[in-house]
Structure 1
Amino acid sequence: MLADKIHITPPGSLYARIRDELRARIVAGVYKPHARLPSESELMSNYGVSRITVRQALGELEKEGVLFKVAGKGMFVSLPKPFQSLARLQGFAEALSEQGHEIYNHLVGIKHLPASSAVAQRLGLAEGAPVTELRRVRHLNRQPVSLDVTYVAAHLGKRLAQENLATRDIFLILENDYAIALGYADLSIDAIQADSELPELLQIADGAPVLRIERLTHTKDGSPLDFEYLYCRADNFQLRARIER
């Protein structure tokens, strides 16, 4: 039950302010995962609002996945999905470690090979030029969440092959160890069905939906540096972005 009754104006913003306050309490840990929220009647009394207003606030939080309903028992706090923001250029471990998650990379393989037409075009190389392919399965809290296939020019790839890629992000190695300033990345996102090696590596069913991201990262001066295909599970991980009008 909320500690104090809260009287909010103007009426038009009542449900949004209740929604936002409840969300803030959940994020702050006042209501833990799987905890039952105060009943509709309690919230009506505490906020001095109608049942319709309370249901609108709770309904929006349910749509966001913050709450889930149990018939006859009320609203409960969902176990939050880990997420990475698309608004910042960060490595996987860099972003998720900030949220307190356990990160581990399983290095599936490293190959030195001629650049395909697609890879050469992205990296600004001649087709057939030497590149390095790095394949890693990213684990979040001991569950696989993505297969990352990274391509870099061979002179960088040979150096990266000597690094500890199980616990370190390539972005941080490039910046901190190699003094290469990162600038920006171009992304494209689509959905595909898991086939080939993805079901086994990501522990998902054949044909399960997978989010595929193509990311081309540039240096601060605009030169293409790192081209990746990221194949992300759809059930245990989120990508988020804030888009301004």
Structure 2
Amino acid sequence: GRPLSVDSTRLAPDIGRPLLDRDLAHRDVFDLIEETTGHRLGSAEVTVHAVTAEPDTARLLEIPAGAALFAIDRLTCLADGRPVDAESLRVRADRFALQALVHRGPIAPPT
């Protein structure tokens, strides 16, 4: 019943315009990108770091200005490498945890 994050997405114009007529409230935007372009998504570069809530973001998240937030920035590309979606999320740190499972693989020989 309380907000978790504020998300901002920027799409390439030829990708974003066709999505305006789609059901963005109930469909995954990545599925819609693949459907409208006819191309598969390939990879995403994700950066997670800490920030403090600016007044507008704090108001939307119902937290005090200056509260700790996770900032998640993601650049998603089609399989051919073309960037199509730049997303910035601000997530309440009191309601979110980042967990990763990291495997150690063989050590690559020096080049």
TM-score, normalised via structure 1 length = 0.40
Instruction: Name structure 2 gaps, 5 residues minimum.
Output: 105-111
- Judged with a 3 Å threshold, the aligned counterparts in structure 2 of structure 1 residues 172 and 199 are, in CA distance, closer, same or farther, namely same
1:232 to 83, 91, 101: 91
Q: What is the total number of aligned residue pairs between the two structures?
A: 104
Q: Distance in 2 between matches of 1:190 and 1:175?
A: 28
Q: Give the residue type in structure 2 aligned to 1:237.
A: F
* Matched ranges for 1:27-38 at <5 A: none
2:79 to 220, 224, 227: 220
**Counterpart position of 1:196:** 55
* Matched ranges for 1:131-142 at <5 A: 142=1
Offset of residue 177 of structure 1: 4.5
* Matched ranges for 1:107-122 at <5 A: none
Q: Distance in 2 between matches of 1:173 and 1:160?
A: 7
2:15 to 153, 156, 161: 156
Which of 1 and 2 has higher RCO (CA within 8 Å, sep 6+)?
Answer: 2
Q: Distance in 1 between matches of 2:69 and 2:34?
A: 30
Larger Rg: 1
How high is the sequence identity, in percent, across the aligned residues?
A: 38
Offset of residue 238 of structure 1: 2.5
- Judged with a 3 Å threshold, the aligned counterparts in structure 2 of structure 1 residues 200 and 153 are, in CA distance, closer, same or farther, namely same
Q: Distance in 2 between matches of 1:161 and 1:196?
A: 29
1:171 and 2:30 equivalent?
Answer: yes
Q: Deviations over 1:74-111 (max 9, x none)?
A: xxxxxxxxxxxxxxxxxxxxxxxxxxxxxxxxxxxxxx
Q: Distance in 2 between matches of 1:157 and 1:177?
A: 9
Q: Distance in 2 between matches of 1:157 and 1:232?
A: 24
Instruction: Name structure 1 gaps, 5 residues minimum.
Output: 1-141
CA RMSD for the aligned pairs? Answer: 1.5
Q: Deviations over 1:136-183 (max 9, x none)?
A: xxxxxx331111111111122211222222222211111244422011
Q: Give the residue type in structure 2 aligned to 1:208.
A: A
User: Secondary structure at 2:16's aligned position in 1?
Assistant: helix
Which structure is higher in helix share?
Answer: 1
Q: Distance in 1 between matches of 2:72 and 2:64?
A: 20
**Counterpart position of 1:209:** 68
Q: Give the residue type in structure 1 aligned to 2:9.
A: T
**Counterpart position of 2:43:** 184
Q: Distance in 1 between matches of 2:95 and 2:14?
A: 35
